[in-house]
Amino acid sequence: TRASDKFGWTRYNSLAEIDAWLDEILAVYPVVTEGFVIGKSYEGRDIRGIKISYKSGNPGVFIESNIHAREWITSATATWLINELLSSSDDLVRDLAESHDWYIVPVLNVDGFVYTHEKDRLWRKTRQPSNISQCIGVDPNRNYDSHWMENGGASSDPCNEAYAGPYAFSEPETKALSDFVASIKDKLNIMIAFHSYSQLLLSPYGHTKDEVPENYDDLMQVAKAYSDTVKDLPYGTVYRYGSSAGILYPASGTTSDWAYNEQDVKISYTIEFRDTGNFGFVLPPAFIIPNAEEALVGIISLLAESKKLGYLEPKYI
């Protein structure tokens, strides 16, 4: 049997199970995959990723997943996506897999993820203690060094769920992700951060709604392509789109803004997966495959539209 068949995506997996599955995937597809470790978490766990590359010189797509510990649908979707990229025989998926270089980190916030499995299902933040409070953890999606703590888009209170941390990149997890991305930025055309829930495609900026990026119209056109595609599926799931601060709330120091502002990744989105609040973060496992299938076809459209608009060319020549 294939490594993937045991996984099944019929329930949510623990970090140990995801790690073991990744090892099997790397063993089954040694030619086109490469495992990487971006660094260690506060509690000393490896933060792992997989690169999938069928030929060199492809445009790079980075997927950051499960930065928020409780958003289990994101790593379930990321692992399903990895499996499809490697094993699907569908022409569109083959083309998707083989004409991009994929860098996928299924679980960024490994400590928080383990904590949600073992102690508190709804934990969001990292697990690093504070020097000034009994409250533990930083919101890693407020901890990136781009407009950090500006405009009320994050909190300075360690007990707040959107605590930005004592300084930008105080968390080993965000520091590791950012160092890794910076090291491949010349090959990176697209950055997607997987979150849940609300069914939204969010473009920069998060730190302000008074301004939009210079390629905002393109960002909306690309988001519309994703949204139109998933709406036409049998489930007909509605994804709204807009700028982060515009349609949601201000959030400073997010991955998406940092990649856009500081790493010159001009197609950068936060995707909030299912649902719209009925189950919220505790999405039943029956939704894993529908959510993941939707994400796959949505990403096919997202990349096709990005290519049409010229964003998949080499960044620096």
Catalytic residues: 272
**Using CA atoms, how far apart are residues 159 and 137, in angstroms rounded to an integer?**
8
Region at 57 (left for phi over 0; alpha for psi -120 to 50; beta for the rest): left
251 binding ligand 0X9? (CB under 6 A):
yes
**Cβ distance 81 to 292 under 8 Å?**
yes
- The item of ligand 0X9, Zn ion, none sharing an interface with residue 111, based on CB under 5 to 8 Å by kind, is none
**Cβ distance 195 to 73 under 8 Å?**
no
**Cβ distance 230 to 297 under 8 Å?**
yes
- Scanning 23-31, 43-51, 194-202, 214-222 for contacts with Zn ion by CB under 5 A, the matching segment is 194-202
Q: How many CB atoms lie within 10 A of CB 148?
A: 21
68 binding Zn ion? (CB under 5 A):
yes
Of these, 45, 70, 175, 195, which contacts Zn ion (CB under 5 A)? 195
116 binding ligand 0X9? (CB under 6 A):
no
Of these, 182, 248, 289, 297, which contacts ligand 0X9 (CB under 6 A)? 248
Residue 42 backbone dihedrals phi, psi, to 5 degrees: -55, -45
**Using CA atoms, how far apart are residues 203 and 25, in angstroms rounded to an integer?**
32
**Cβ distance 253 to 168 under 8 Å?**
yes
Q: Which is nearer to Zn ion, 100 or 142 (CB)?
A: 142
- Scanning 34-42, 179-187, 213-221, 244-252 for contacts with ligand 0X9 by CB under 6 A, the matching segment is 244-252
266 binding Zn ion? (CB under 5 A):
no
For β-strands 267-273 and 200-203, DSSP reports them as: antiparallel
**Cβ distance 191 to 267 under 8 Å?**
yes
Closest separation between CB of residue 179 and ligand 0X9, Å? Answer: 21
Residue 123 identity: W
Q: Which is nearer to ligand 0X9, 143 or 301 (CB)?
A: 143
117 binding Zn ion? (CB under 5 A):
no
Closest separation between CB of residue 92 and ligand 0X9, Å? Answer: 28
**Cβ distance 216 to 293 under 8 Å?**
no
Instruction: Return the closest-CA partner of residue 107 out of 26, 14, 182, 206.
Output: 14
**Using CA atoms, how far apart are residues 149 and 96, in angstroms rounded to an integer?**
37
Q: What are the distances in angstroms from CA 66 to CA 91, 104, 132, 187, 258?
A: 29, 11, 27, 23, 17
Q: Which is nearer to ligand 0X9, 235 or 249 (CB)?
A: 249
- Scanning 36-44, 230-238, 242-250, 306-314 for contacts with ligand 0X9 by CB under 6 A, the matching segment is 242-250
Which positions from 199 through 218 interact with Zn ion, judged by CB under 5 A? none
Count of residues near ligand 0X9 by CB under 6 A:
15
259 binding ligand 0X9? (CB under 6 A):
no
254 binding ligand 0X9? (CB under 6 A):
yes
Closest separation between CB of residue 100 and ligand 0X9, Å? Answer: 24
- The item of Zn ion, ligand 0X9, none sharing an interface with residue 270, based on CB under 5 to 8 Å by kind, is ligand 0X9
What is the edge-to-edge ordering of all strands in the sheet holding 200-203? 33-40, 46-52, 101-105, 60-65, 188-196, 267-273, 200-203, 240-243
270 binding ligand 0X9? (CB under 6 A):
yes
- The item of Zn ion, ligand 0X9, none sharing an interface with residue 202, based on CB under 5 to 8 Å by kind, is ligand 0X9
Binding site for ligand 0X9 (CB under 6 A): 68, 71, 141, 195, 202, 206, 244-245, 248-251, 254, 270, 272
